[in-house]
A and B are shown apart, each in its own frame.
Chain A
Amino acid sequence: MSGNEKPKIATTSLCGCFGCHMSLLDIDLRILDLAEIVEFSRSPINDLKTIEDRAAVGLIEGGCANEENVEVLREFRRQCDVLVSVGDCAISGGIPALRNTIPLSECLDEAYRNGPSTVNESGDIPNDPEIPLLLNKVYPAHEVVKIDYHLPGCPPPADTLWTALVALLSGKPLDLPYKLLKYD
Chain B
Amino acid sequence: MMETLGDLVRGTCDLVHRDRTRLLDVARIVQERLGCVPGSAMDLIASHLDVKRIDVESLVSFYSFLSKEPEGKVVIRLSDDVVDRMAGYDAVLAAFRDELGIGLGEKTPDGSISLTRTACIGMCDQAPSALANDTVLTDLTPQAARAIVRGLREHGDPKRLVNRLGDGQNAHPLVLSMVGNHIRRAGPILLSPGKRGRAVELTLSLHPAEVIRAIKAARLRGRGGAGFPAGMKWEFTRAAPGERKYIICNADEGEPGTFKDRVLLTEFPDRVFAGMTIAGYAIGAEEGILYLRAEYAYLVPYLEEVLAKRRVEGLLGDHIEGKFSMSFDIRIQLGAGAYVCGEETALISSMEGLRGDPKNRPPFPAQSGYLGYPTSVNNVETLCCVTRIAEIGVATFCQYGTEQSAGTKLLSISGDVTRPGVYEVPFGVTLREVLVMCGGEEAGAAQVGGPSGQLVGPEGFDRAITYEDLSTGGALVVFGRDRDLLAMMYGYMEFFEEESCGYCTPCRVGNELLKNGLLRVMEGRAEPDDLEQFRAIGKTMKATSRCGLGQTSWRPLVTALDAFPDLLAGKVVSDPDGFCRSFDLKAEVSQAEGIAGRKSEHAGRKGGDDGR
A residues with a Cβ closer than 8 A to B are: 66-68, 70-71, 74, 77-78, 103-105, 108, 125, 127, 129, 132-137, 139, 142-146
**Secondary structure of the B side of the interface?**
loop
Which residues of chain B have C-beta atoms less than 8 A from A67's C-beta?
585, 588-589, 600-603
> Given A67-B585, A70-B585, does the pair A145, B579 have CB atoms closer than 8 Å?
yes
Contact A77 B577 (CB under 8 A): yes
What chain A residues lie within 8 Å of B582 (beta carbons)? Answer: 143
By secondary structure, the A interface counts as: mixed
- B596 at the binding interface (Cβ < 8 Å): yes
Chain B residues with CB under 8 Å of A144's CB are 579-580, 583
With a cutoff of 8 Å between Cβ atoms, the chain B residues found around residue A125 in the complex are 595-596
Q: Is B578 touching A77 in the complex (CB atoms < 8 A)?
A: yes
Q: In the complex, A108→B597 CA distance in Å?
A: 14
In the assembly, what is the distance between CA of A105 and CA of B577, in Å?
32
Q: Cα distance A129–B596 when bound, in Å?
A: 9
Q: Is the CB of A143 within 8 A of B580?
A: yes
A136 with B603, Cβ < 8 A, contacts A143-B583, A144-B583, A146-B578 known: no
Q: From the candidates B580, B596, B600, name the one contacting A127 in the complex (CB within 8 A).
A: B596
12 A-B pairs with CB atoms under 8 Å apart are A67-B602, A74-B609, A78-B578, A103-B591, A127-B598, A133-B593, A139-B588, A144-B579, A145-B577, A145-B578, A145-B580, A146-B580
Q: A74, A77, A135: which contacts B588 (Cβ < 8 A)?
A: A135
- Cα of A142 to Cα of B597 in the assembled complex, Å: 29
Taking CB atoms, residues of chain A closer than 8 Å to B575 are: 146
Residues of A within 8 A of B577 (CB): 74, 77-78, 145
The answer to whether A136 touches B609, judged by C-beta atoms less than 8 angstroms apart, is no
User: Which of chain A's residues have a CB closer than 8 A to the CB of B600?
Assistant: 67, 133
A114 to B: closest C-beta gap in Å: 15
Question: With A and B bound together, what is the CA distance between A164 and B38 in angstroms?
Answer: 56
* Those of B564-580 within 8 Å (CB) of chain A: 575, 577-580
Contacts of A68 in B (CB 8 A): 602
Closest A residue by C-beta to B533: A142
Q: Compute the total of residue contacts between A and B using a CB distance below 8 Å.
A: 76
B469 within 8 A of A: no
Q: Are A129 and B598 in contact (CB under 8 A)?
A: yes
Q: Which residue of B lies closest to A146 (CB)?
A: B578
Q: Which residue of A66, A74, A136, A139 is within 8 Å of B579 (Cβ)?
A: A74
Q: How far apart are the CA atoms of A146 and B527 in the complex, in Å?
A: 10
Q: Is B529 an interface residue (CB 8 A)?
A: yes
Residues A105 and B591 in contact in the complex (CB < 8 Å), given A68-B602, A74-B577, A77-B578:
yes
A77-B578, A144-B579 given; A71·B588 CB < 8 A: no
List residues of chain B with CB within 8 A of the CB of A135: 588-589, 592
B205 at the interface (CB under 8 A from A): no
Which residues of chain A are near B601, meaning CB under 8 Å?
67
Given contacts A67-B588, A133-B596, 14 further A-B contacts (CB under 8 A): A67-B603, A70-B609, A71-B602, A104-B592, A105-B595, A127-B598, A133-B589, A133-B592, A136-B592, A139-B583, A143-B580, A143-B583, A144-B580, A144-B583
Assess whether B589 is in contact with A108, with CB atoms less than 8 Å apart. Answer: no
Q: Which residues of chain A are near B587, meaning CB under 8 Å?
A: 136
**Smallest Cβ-Cβ distance to A78: which chain B residue:** B577
B602 and A77 form a contact (CB under 8 A):
no
CA–CA, A84 to B322, complex, Å?
A: 75
User: Taking each of B529, B578, B601, which has the highest tally of chain A beta carbons within 10 Å of its own beta carbon?
Assistant: B578
Q: In the complex, A70 Cα to B609 Cα: how many Å?
A: 9
B325 within 8 A of A: no
Across the interface, which residues of B come within 8 angstroms of A137, CB to CB? Answer: 588
Known contacts A78-B577, A104-B595; A146/B590 CB under 8 A: no
Which listed residue, B529, B588, B592, touches A146 by the CB 8 Å rule?
B529
Of B529, B577, B582, B588, most A-chain CB atoms within 10 Å: B588
Q: Is the CB of A77 within 8 A of B583?
A: no
CA distance A136 to B602 in the complex (A): 15
Binary contact readout B204-239 vs A (1 if CB under 8 angstroms, 0 otherwise): 000000000000000000000000000000000000
Residues of chain A contacted by B598 (CB below 8 angstroms): 127, 129, 133
CB pair A136 B588 closer than 8 Å: yes
Task: Tell me how far the C-beta of B431 lies from the nearest C-beta in chain A, rounded to whole angstroms.
Answer: 39
- What's the Cα separation between A142 and B529 when bound, in Å? 11
A-side contacts of B603, CB under 8 Å:
67
Asked whether, in the complex, the Cβ of B579 is within 8 Å of the Cβ of A134, the reply is no
* Chain B residues in 8 Å Cβ range of A145: 577-580
Query: Which residues of chain A come closer than 8 Å to B580, judged between CB atoms?
Result: 142-146
CA–CA, A135 to B603, complex, Å?
A: 11
> Which residues from A are CB-within-8-Å of B579?
74, 77, 144-146
Which 6 residue pairs across A and B have the least CB separation, nearest first? A133-B592, A146-B578, A135-B588, A67-B602, A104-B591, A134-B592
Complex Cα–Cα for A133 and B575 (A):
25
Kindly list chain A residues whose C-beta atoms are within 8 Å of the C-beta of B583.
70, 139, 143-144
Interface string of B60-84 (1 = CB under 8 A from A): 0000000000000000000000000
